[in-house]
Structures are given as structure tokens and as C-alpha cells.
């Protein structure tokens, strides 16, 4: 027998990304795109897939909250670390980590699931903050993108909890 959810519980999310509509992937740059899975506006966290091609880069940023990642395809790393993440690699980045994400040029692509537990603070080479991204700026950008590409703003709203 199914025990019902408490009446105040948020609805679950069950997403089959194998059947994704390409319009769900929002370009961040020429070689990098993201697909939101869950946007948590109470905790300020979010889960997304990121897909990048050769030359793909996410510029230097600091995480004031932890990040969890799991590599689904390809290979990538951070300029600030020696390791290379390949299919199956799990990572935990503690709060305080600053890094620059790059696709491994020998493999030339990657897809990774990230759970960002807080914002990204974009920083210059001295660590000085020059910008930021949080769950709210992400939602604003997704809303504008899906509103303009025909998928509709309701898509991103369905992922907010
Ligand atoms: Fe990061």
C-alpha cells in the first residue's frame, strides 16, 4: 500500500533525460550547454546536466557551498587540479573551492550531472569577485531562453521546488 505524502510535501520530480527535447539545453557559450533538473529556491541549490564540446570552458569561479558531480560521458577536469574525470567519476568539491572547468582536449566532449549547493562566484586571477550565478539568476535565464525558443516558461517552472 502506498503511504501518501504529507499534504505539505513538495511534489516529486521524475525526469527521463534520454528523451530530452534539444530545446531543453540552454547554451552558456559556443561549446557549453546546460539542462536544469531541479531548482531549489528554498535552499538556493540546483541540479543540472552540463554538456561541453572540445574547447568548452566554464571560467574561473569559487563555490561558497559544496558541489557534487557525476560524470556521465566524456572527460573533463579543472585547470587547478591534476585529475581527469571520466565516465563514472564522482566528485565532491568542498566549500571554498575555486576552479576553471575544461573539457579534456584528447576526448573532446563531456556530459556531467552537478548538484550545486549554492552559488558560483566568478572571480579574476586574484580571486576578486567579478560576477555570480545563483539559483535565481539561473531561473531568470532559463525562463527567458525557454520563453523564446518555443518550449515555454512553464518548463523551467515545473522544475522549481
Ligand atoms: Fe564549479
Domains belonging to the chain, first-starting first, are 25-156 (2.60.120.10)
Distance CA(87)–CA(2), nearest Å, equals 36
Enclosing H/E stretch for 114: strand 109-116
Distances from the Cα of 51 to the Cαs of 34, 74, 95, 154, in angstroms?
A: 6, 9, 23, 23
Q: What is the DSSP letter of 150?
A: S
Spatial contact of 160 and 41, defined as CB atoms under 8 Å apart: yes
The CA 135 to ligand 1 mean position distance, Å, reads: 14
The CA 64 to ligand 1 mean position distance, Å, reads: 10
The CA 62 to ligand 1 mean position distance, Å, reads: 7
pLDDT in tens, 10-39: 999 999 999 899 999 999 999 999 999 999
pLDDT in tens, 74-125: 999 999 999 999 999 999 999 999 999 999 999 999 999 999 999 999 999 9
Amino acid at each position: 500500500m502506498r503511504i501518501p505524502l504529507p499534504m505539505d510535501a513538495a511534489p516529486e520530480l521524475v525526469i527521463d533525460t534520454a528523451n530530452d527535447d534539444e530545446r531543453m539545453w540552454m547554451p552558456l557559450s559556443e561549446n557549453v550547454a546546460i539542462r536544469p533538473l531541479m531548482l531549489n529556491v528554498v535552499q538556493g541549490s540546483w541540479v543540472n546536466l552540463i554538456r561541453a564540446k572540445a574547447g568548452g570552458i566554464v571560467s574561473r569561479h569559487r563555490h561558497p557551498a559544496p558541489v557534487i558531480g557525476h560524470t556521465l560521458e566524456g572527460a573533463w577536469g579543472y585547470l587547478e587540479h591534476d585529475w581527469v574525470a571520466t565516465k563514472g567519476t564522482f566528485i565532491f568539491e568542498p566549500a571554498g573551492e575555486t576552479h576553471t572547468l575544461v573539457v579534456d582536449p584528447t576526448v573532446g566532449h563531456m556530459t556531467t550531472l552537478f548538484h550545486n549547493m549554492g552559488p558560483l562566484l566568478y572571480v579574476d586571477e586574484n580571486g576578486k569577485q567579478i560576477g555570480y550565478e545563483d539559483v535565481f539568476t539561473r531561473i531568470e535565464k532559463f525562463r527567458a531562453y525557454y520563453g523564446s525558443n518555443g518550449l515555454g516558461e512553464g518548463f523551467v517552472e515545473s522544475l522549481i521546488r
